[in-house]
Amino acid sequence: MNTTVTEEVVINNPIGNLYRKNHVLILIVDEQGKFILGKKKDFYPSHVARMLGGGIKDGETPARSAQREILEELGVDIPFSSLNTLGSVVTKADTLEGAMEMQTWIYQVLLPKSTIINPSDDISGIQLFTQTEYINLIQDILNLTGEFKTDKYSFSWADWGKIYGPIHAHALEWYKNHKDK
């Protein structure tokens, strides 16, 4: 599937990945059909998890980046051929710093039952979600409030939700369509 959709959002402070411009997210599913999402201690609100992924390095294709990110974040070396392309989301954000744009390539991979997951220090752990729980998580992401602040930067969780809620929703929709074929 080579679907690309565009999401236009109005936010205050840019989120870090808007500066990165190109990144991948991977919808990882176990053999029971549960979604494996990453947690980040002392970052995301406690009830929030996210698809695993990260930035695309110079000279790297989105698919190779997805393969590398799974290895880095879960300690799982998946065969390149097991990646299913679901689509990409171009986020056009109107921010206080001006117009910004990023593209997120979304892949899906099914992990075999015997897979041993060893989360890296980039994530504090994983959480399994049924499809219904994942739908509820997406709604929670879209309705986030509050702020994240450090000495270096801050952003609104509502702004983060405006970007990542639709990305997660598209990923789930594309996964369901891909699975039914």
DSSP category for residue 1: -
Q: Which tens digits make up the pLDDT trace of 53-101?
A: 999 999 999 999 999 999 999 999 999 899 999 999 999 999 999 999 9
Domain of residue 128 covers: 4-179
- Which CATH number does the domain housing residue 117 bear? 3.90.79.10
Domain count, the chain: 1
State if pTM tops 0.75. Answer: yes
102 or 180, which is more confident = 102
Residue range 8-42, pLDDT digits in tens:
999 988 887 888 899 999 999 999 999 999 998 77
What is the pLDDT, as a whole number, of residue 41?
Answer: 72
Q: To the nearest whole number, what is the mean pLDDT of the chain?
A: 91
The more confident residue out of 44 and 64 is: 64
pLDDT at 1: 54
Q: What are phi and psi of 179, to 5 degrees?
A: -65, -35
